[in-house]
Amino acid sequence: MRRENLLTVVAASLFVFFVLLALFGPWLVPYDPLSTSAGAALSPPDAAHWFGTDALGRDILSRVIVATRLDFGIAVAAVAVSFLIGATLGCLAGFHGGWHDRIISRLADTIMAFPLFVLAMGVVAAMGNTVANIVIATALINLPFYIRVARAEVNVRREAGYVEAARLSGASDTRILVMHLFPNILPPMMVQISLNMGWAILNAAGLSFIGLGVRPPAAEWGIMVADGAQLIVSGEWWVAFFPGLVLMLAVFSFNLLGDGLRDLIDPRRRT
């Protein structure tokens, strides 16, 4: 097996591991992730608490595991929303051209005119501090990428032989788009999804880190790192270290997987 394939297999296993944690995490944890215990506050990692405990005596391992579902949930929801809306808009722009294309491309350009994390922060600040708004903000800043990929991919296939054949046999524009073009642009869109997932998680965790979105005491990786931020300079490293490490691993596995997927589907785009 080639080295790249091996890396992709490692990434895929990590990914499956995280999905299992997200699905079954709450039943796997050794302690209640919310139960506090003043006596065991800030104890370093040991046999009872593998990842140590935080300032309120909560078990960090349990909280890290339980947080997987929330972090993945936000990222999956955000990416799904921007995939659906972005693919629809991009298909319309690429297929019809003309004013459809101008308006939709202008929308994508306007979003891209912002530093994206700053836009997400502004959106959550303006719309209110909820998990749903984090999903909306993350979906919004991912939107241009899906619009662009879908538009470009539909555009090059617009005059393809099978599209002409479908048109000759009397299929409507909508039917051609949904039944013939959309399935054909799925592979590059899938690559975009896996490349975006890691970024979506990073964004959501970053927003929580600055105090937007998820609220304490809910377990979420970004918030947990923020909890440990003050403690790390006085030597209690484990409070921020483990959630940060797991967050990094999750994003890393997504990015590796995305790269592997892209090499499989479109080897020419490898950089």
Q: Where on the chain is the footprint of other proteins (CB under 8 A)?
A: 3, 106, 109-110, 113-119, 121-123, 125-128, 198-199, 202, 205-206, 209-212, 222, 225-226, 228-229, 232-235, 237, 240-241, 244-245, 247-248, 251-252, 254-256, 259, 271
Pair 219, 59: CB distance under 8 Å: no
Q: Please, what is the minimum distance in Å from the beta carbon of residue 115 to other proteins?
A: 4
Report the alpha-carbon distance of residue 93 to residue 87 in Å, rounded: 10
DSSP secondary structure letter of residue 43: P
Residue 38 amino acid letter: A
Distance of CA 26 to the CA centre of its chain: 21
Looking at beta carbons only, is 168 or 233 nearer to other proteins? 233
Q: Please, what is the minimum distance in Å from the beta carbon of residue 235 to other proteins?
A: 6
Q: Please, what is the minimum distance in Å from the beta carbon of residue 184 to other proteins?
A: 26
Report the alpha-carbon distance of residue 146 to residue 81 in Å, rounded: 11
Looking at beta carbons only, is 31 or 199 nearer to other proteins? 199
Looking at beta carbons only, is 56 or 125 nearer to other proteins? 125
Looking at beta carbons only, is 92 or 226 nearer to other proteins? 226
Q: Please, what is the minimum distance in Å from the beta carbon of residue 202 to other proteins?
A: 6
Looking at beta carbons only, is 116 or 134 nearer to other proteins? 116
Q: Please, what is the minimum distance in Å from the beta carbon of residue 84 to other proteins?
A: 22
For the chain, percent helix, then strand, then coil, each to nearest 5? 75, 0, 25
Q: Please, what is the minimum distance in Å from the beta carbon of residue 94 to other proteins?
A: 20
Other Cβ atoms less than 10 A from the Cβ of 97: the count is 13
The H or E element that residue 158 is part of is none
Looking at beta carbons only, is 139 or 251 nearer to other proteins? 251
